[in-house]
Amino acid sequence: MKIFKKVAFVGAYVSFLVAASLVLACVALDDPSGPTQSDTEDSYVSESPTDFSAEPQRTYLGQAVCEGCHALAAEHWGDTVHAKVFLQNPRTLAEKRGCEACHGPGSEHIVEPTNPARIISFTRDSPLAVEQMNGACLECHSGGARIAWAGSAHEVDELSCSDCHNPMNRISEKGLLREATVRDTCFSCHPQQRVQFRKRSHMPLFEGKIDCDDCHQPHGSATDPLLRADSSFELCTSCHSDKRGPFIWEHAPVTEGCVSCHLPHGSNRDSLLVTSPPFLCQQCHAQLGVQNHPIALQTPGNLASSSVPGRRDVRLIGRGCVNCHVQIHGSNHPSGARFHR
Amino acid sequence: MIGFVRQRSRPGLSVGIVILLLTLLFVSSPKRTEAGSAEQGSVLSGSLIESTRPIDSRGLSTWRTSRLRSPSGILYPYPHKPMPWSGESYQLRSLVDFGFVLNSGEASEAAFRKYADLSDGFLLRRFLVEGQRTEDGRYFEVGGGSVGRSDQFFYGEIGRRGLFSLRGRFDAVEHVGIDDARILFEGVGSQELTLPSPLVPGRNLQSDVSAALVGVGQTQLSQKREQSELQMRVTLHPRLTLIGDYGFRKRQGERPFGGTLGMRFARTTGGSFAETIAPEESDTHEFSAGLEYASPKMQANLRYRGSIYDNQNSSLTWENPFSASERGNPASPTAVAGPPRGRSALAPDNQLHQVSSDVGIHLPLRGRFTTHASWTRMTQNQRLLPATINPLLTNFDTLSRSRGDARVDQLLVQSKLRFRPASAVNVDFGFRYSMRDNDTNYLSLNPASGQFGYVTEDESLTTRYGAAAFSAQRLRVSGAVDWRFAKRSRVGIRYRHNSTRRENRAREEVRDDNFRLHVSTAAIPHTQLRASYTFQKRSGSNYSAARDSRYYEATGPGRPARTGGPSRSLRSFRQFDLSSHDNHNVDLRANWLIGPSVDLALAAHLELRDYHTSYGITGTRIAEVNLDTSIQLSPQLTAHGFASYEWRDRRMATINGAIGLGQSTDFTAGSRRYPLSNRWTWDSNFRGMTLGVGLTATPLPRVALRADYRFQRSNEDIDTAFDRSGGALPPSTDPATARSRFPSLSQTDHLLDASASYAWTDTITTRAFYRYQYSTIRDFHQRGLQPVVNQNLFLGHVDDDYSVHVVGATWQFRY
């Protein structure tokens, strides 16, 4: 097993070197003209998913022609980051196209403006497949987190870029989202999280201190829940670094992932717990001990409100087991074997 | 197998790591700072665009008469009017929004103030200054909100469009945990909690402590978190971007903690518990850098991320409020003295370093290969505290090592290959390997005496060999096929096999087989439907609770003889994360385009899990249903509504062990150790309902109204079942009168947000707002809670009901 681990590590290290070499080689050999190139500035033949090569040759008309009919759309678009880049500091041939950078050459569109097949469009009415619409966006935005897009949960579910983004209008402060905030965009399809963030203990989403994309990478990631990290433990401890350890005494469920005991969005119990103590701990602990205290059944008669003072039991009061096992995420005390210290 | 005593051969590995880092000297990229779409905010500031720009009644298009929808059929909201710029080549625009806030009701309640500052007073709700030079794309932006409040935020950015950007952010939040703590101790906020006179550590009766608490008022415990971040993004080349990020997070405050000196349950003798207060003062430095490369054929990311956590407080010492025992007579001089104090270690300083890479390559046949690899090292080398603060045991004054010397390495390699044998068919293969290697290996050894063990609760010695280190390896392979059978319609199937091998857990190997069928279609008129069904089967190697017993048992000279039971006793008890089970998941999302301006959406989730075990969690059920509607009749009138219902059931069965059977080692269900008459079960049933409506209206040209109301109610009932003549109950409980059902854990919330604004001119707007929050929480853990309960000291926190009205007005000036 150790040899296997070493081989895996060496393999990963070699992959880094190979990847680094490929990057540097590509940079050295690359033509900086831009992601879409053509021999002439006035023609367009694409090999991308938005390939209209079966159509007659289309030509670019220029932004001013588009604005002649679409002045209102241009006014709204003008406030977006795309417009600011395209109009103020275009660096590639595609960026200089303006509207036609995304919508493709408009020569056929002005001949038949009501035919949606004559221009690249990104709404429900578009005749294009989702993959073709996304391909137009990915021509410029293929890097970064979109590397993991193919095969990701959203891609497999036929989600289009324009399901979450509206580049024609600035509704959100950043990101050209469809709604005013990241959370409102996500809640369109994930409404249950809207409920969870309002529960008794919750992450401060509605208080404006966190948003869905602080923890999730909707464009794709190495995890099924599209986390911005390789595991829930790594993600949560990026903010809750005091729980990261490593501790000399580890608690097994912590190493498996924070979701062993916590609900990540909100819970009706304190501290975003999956269920209430002592039951939370009794899900895993059935050992004997002093008075078999991990596994004894507590009843309402053991609450702090019990009429018999001698029956009030600390395991049911306040934070339950964590009253005493306070270092439940792990202990760095030489005597912390039971997470008391 | 990771051995107990091992000489680390690290030099070669360290050199390799250094070479790796040097290789990646230019490279790294933070996962979280990619041209951020995250907007900073606070409860009062609202979203920037919605709060500063009116809806544009002209809509998005002059030509379209029908509303625009996304490819999945979701209505796009009406646009907001862009803020005009002043100037020609050098352009500027700005706004300031300020006013006041007043509240009445139980506004001091912790739950109301948890992450929000709605206190009375002046409100600088938002400010923003933006400038740009249109001829070359240079720009700057400075803004913020809730200035001077505990949830304030600021940001600033400079750059040149398409070339570089440098953004700084500051964000604050206060987590108010408790507002009604009654604190006995002195020295709150420090690392030493002392008792007020005339209390003597370890020698007080319950009545003495109760008397000392008379007249002690309520104190707030909260933590403030302030976060600063600097993000840089530079386009080195049209296909190559350099990213750098530095973040600093500071936490300050106090939080409830705990300290036990012996176990003091109902009817046990000896020991006490005190809910202490731990100081929180820590800094976290986060830094990362990366390169992103993107071309039509290939994309790659290389990243480095580092994190350093620095805790200013290494320990917490508290004086014991109670004697060990009162021997049944509170005023008796035969009360037994307890340990005078206890000391706990607080979170140690730690570090994380991670390098990672992603590569994506387009292949022939519209194929694609992607791979992700990352290597992470987490370390902690804090100086260890002595085994005990009490001089009761002098033979444990040296430790096996003076520092933590803890290290965990993680490796992840994941690759996917996609190819398209036909134009409408995708075939995917996936491989994933991850490894967690804990190389800490702490021994509970006093090298001076050769004795193995640790000091329990600063009082007595307990045998123990060392700490179990949890390492694991996971291997997953998958295959999937999907077919586009119609326009924007796709059906697919996926199979995954996952094998996890763990060290020092009860099951060496756990295997998961996962089948998923999914469909997404727009082929049904006026509908977008997405549905999936997933079946997962978990199996694995034999389960043995004693797999980590070597950390407790003696097998050679110098190791302690075993006492007590094995680490997890009941033989047929299964921990839920290892237990074999079958899991069925159904997900459904449907959007109905029921009118040109009306949407109706249904989202449902069902999860059924049956564990193949008689003891432990035996089954869980989760069901969630959400119905949403959006009505956008015109720019002057939009409305939305939603209803949500959720239920969660969880069941567990176990057996309470019989007491006083010496060294019996038969731990099977039905044995003398675990008689069936001691069996008990627990059943948790959670039901939650949420309703919400909202309205945005512009009844008159310069008047805008907005209202949102939400009602949420939830209830959890926990039922137990047990043989009243058996031994499931602890000795403190009278079986004849023990009830089976706990009081409900419930919550009810009402939240109303409403505002009305009037635009005097295009640049001046007045806005009045009203917010009503009502909440009740019933938590049986707090029921009847007083500070002193049977030689246990609590802070006495109870979540009280609250009802708060918040009103305010602001004036917004735009230039």
- How many interface pairs between A and B have CB atoms less than 8 angstroms apart? 656
CA distance readout (Å), A50 to A45, A59, A135, B110, B328: 10, 15, 7, 55, 85
Mutation site, A86, A299, A338, interface B, largest B CB count within 10 A: A299
Element (H, E) at B713: strand B703-722
A29 touches chain B (CB under 8 A): no
- Please give the pLDDT value at position B52: 84
CB proximity under 8 Å: A 202-231 to B: 204, 206-209, 211, 213-214, 217, 222, 228-231
At B285-339, the pLDDT tens digits run: 999 999 999 998 999 999 999 999 999 999 999 999 998 887 655 556 677 888 8
Stretch among B128-132, B541-545, B664-668 having the lowest mean pLDDT: B664-668
For the cut 60, the answer to whether the pLDDT of residue B746 exceeds it is yes
Please identify which residue in the block is written with the tokens 């008796």.
B332
- Nearest-CB residue to A241 (from B160, B284, B386): B284
Q: Which residue has the tokens 């080398």?
A: B381
How many DSSP H helices and E strands does chain B contain?
3, 37
Q: In the predicted model, what is the mean pLDDT of residues A29-44?
A: 38
Name the pLDDT band for A19 (thresholds 50, 70, 90): low
Q: What is the mean pLDDT of residues B195-206?
A: 92
* pLDDT level of residue A47 (50, 70, 90 thresholds): very low
Can you give the pLDDT at residue B335? 76
* Total residue length of chain A: 341
Q: Which of A279-293, B198-212, B241-255, B563-577 has the lowest mean pLDDT?
A: B563-577
B642 contacts A338? CB cut-off 8 A: no
Higher pLDDT: B35 or A191? It is A191
Q: With 80 as the cut, is the pLDDT of residue A101 above it?
A: yes
The chain A residue lying nearest B305, using CA atoms, is: A238
CA dihedral B251, B252, B258, B261 (to 10 degrees): 110
Whether A67 has its CB under 8 Å from any CB of chain B: the answer is no
Q: What pLDDT shows up at residue A35?
A: 39
Q: Which residue in A129, A294, A308, A138 sits closest to B360, CA to CA? A: A138
Q: How many whole angstroms separate alpha carbon A335 and alpha carbon A327?
A: 11
Task: Give the pairing type, strands B272-274 and A43-44.
Answer: unpaired
* Mean per-residue pLDDT of chain B: 89
Selected for mutation to probe chain A from B7, B161, B548, B575 (highest A CB count within 10 Å) is B161
pLDDT: is B131 or B267 the higher one? B131
Angle at B535 between CA B532 and CA B536, to 5 degrees: 135
* Mean pLDDT value of segment B496-518: 96
pLDDT for the residue numbered B23: 37
Q: Could you give the count of Cα atoms lying within 13 Å of B469 in the half-sphere of its Cβ? A: 20
ipTM more than 0.85?
A: yes
Q: Across B503-597, where does the E strand assignment appear? A: 509-521, 527-540, 573-574, 581-595
Whole-number Cα distances in Å, B37 to A194, B99, B194, B244, B295: 19, 28, 48, 17, 23
Q: Do B384 and A292 touch (CB under 8 A)?
A: no
Identify whether the C-beta of residue B282 lies closer than 8 Å to the C-beta of residue B2: no
Higher pLDDT: B16 or B327? It is B327
- At residue B267, the pLDDT reads 54
The shortest C-alpha distance from B339 to chain A (Å) reads: 15
More confident residue, B32 or B531: B531
Question: A240 pLDDT band (50/70/90 cuts)?
Answer: very high
b/e per residue B707-739 (b: at least 16 CB within 10 A): bbbbbbebbbebebebeeebbbbbebbeeeebe
Model pLDDT, residue B451 = 81
Per-residue pLDDT of B697-733, as tens digits, reads: 999 989 999 999 999 999 999 999 998 888 888 777 7
Across the interface, of B291, B575, B720, the residue whose CB is closest to A284 is B575
Which residues of chain A from 267 to 326 reach within 8 Å of chain B, CB to CB?
268-270, 275-277, 279, 282-293, 295-306, 308-320, 322-326
Instruction: Report chain B's terminal Cα–Cα distance, integer Å.
Output: 69
- pLDDT given at position B458: 85
Least confident of A55-69, A275-289, B167-181, B555-569: B555-569
Query: In the block, which residue shows the tokens 């033979």?
Result: B395
Nearest to A222 among B352, B372, B411 (CB): B372
Q: What is the residue-wise DSSP string for B62-79? A: SS--SPPB-TT-PBPPPP
- Asked if the Cβ–Cβ distance from A150 to B642 is below 8 Å, we say no
Provide the pLDDT confidence category of residue B738 given band limits of 50, 70 and 90: confident
- Whether the pLDDT of residue A135 is over 60: the answer is yes
How many Å lie between the alpha carbon of B296 and the closest alpha carbon of chain A? 6
Task: Yes or no: say if A262 and A233 are a contact pair by the CB < 8 Å rule.
Answer: no
Q: Are B238 and A85 in contact (CB under 8 A)?
A: no
Q: Do B733 and A195 touch (CB under 8 A)?
A: no
Q: Over pLDDT 70: what percentage of chain B?
A: 91
- What is the DSSP annotation of A64-78? HHHHHH-HHHHHHHT
Question: Cβ separation of B738 and A13 shorter than 8 Å?
Answer: no
Whether the per-residue pLDDT at A68 is higher than 80: the answer is yes
> Are B307 and A238 inside 8 Å of each other by CB?
yes
Q: CA-CA distances (angstroms) from residue B595 to A136, B120, B592, B634?
A: 29, 45, 9, 13
Residue B183: what pLDDT? 96
Phi, psi (degrees; rounded to nearest 5) at B559: -95, 145
* Contact flag A1-B293 (C-beta cutoff 8 Å): no
Helix intervals (H) in A30-70: 63-69
Cis peptide before B743 (omega within 30 of 0): no
To which residue do tokens 């309205």 refer? B695
- Convert the pLDDT of each residue in B65-118 to its tens digit: 778 999 999 999 999 999 999 999 899 999 999 999 999 999 999 999 999 999
B659: which chain A residues are within 8 Å (Cβ-Cβ)? 291-292
Partner-chain contact B781 A296, CB within 8 Å:
no
Q: Which of B35-49, B270-284, B289-303 is the least confident region?
A: B35-49
Contact A333, B384 (CB under 8 A): yes
Instruction: Report whether pLDDT(B11) > 70.
Output: no
Asked if A17 and B23 come within 8 Å (Cβ–Cβ), the reply is yes
Nearest by CB: B173 against A200, A209, A306: A209
- Chain A, nearest residue to B379 by Cα: A246
Give first-to-last CA distance, chain A, whole Å: 34
The model's pLDDT over B759-784, given as tens digits with 9 standing for 90+, comes to 999 999 999 999 999 999 999 999 99
Q: Give the phi and the psi of residue B780 in degrees, each rounded to 5.
A: -65, -20
Measure the CA–CA gap between B55 and B697, rounded to whole angstroms. Answer: 10
The pLDDT value recorded for residue A12 is 52
Report the alpha-carbon distance of residue B792 to residue B814 in Å, rounded. Answer: 59
**Residues A285, B567 contacting (CB under 8 angstroms):** no
Q: What SS3 class is residue A148?
A: helix
Is the whole model's pTM more than 0.80, yes or no?
yes
Residue B439: other Cβ atoms inside 10 A: 18
- Is residue A7's pLDDT more than 50? yes
- Test mutation, A85, A110, A124, chain B, max B CBs within 10 A: A124
B663 burial level (CB within 10 Å; 0-12, 13-18, 19+) = exposed
Q: What would the pLDDT profile of A286-314 be if each residue is shown by its tens digit?
A: 877 666 788 888 899 889 998 888 888 88
Q: Two tokens at B176?
A: 């108010």
A226-240, B243-257, B327-341: least confidently modelled range: B327-341
pLDDT value of position A28: 47
Residue of B nearest to A79 (CA): B82
B638 Cβ neighbours under 8 A, 6+ residues apart: B77, B78, B630, B631, B632, B695, B696, B697
**pLDDT band at residue B447 under the 50/70/90 scheme:** confident
Instruction: Read off the pLDDT band of A21 (50, 70, 90).
Output: low
Residue A20: per-residue pLDDT: 52
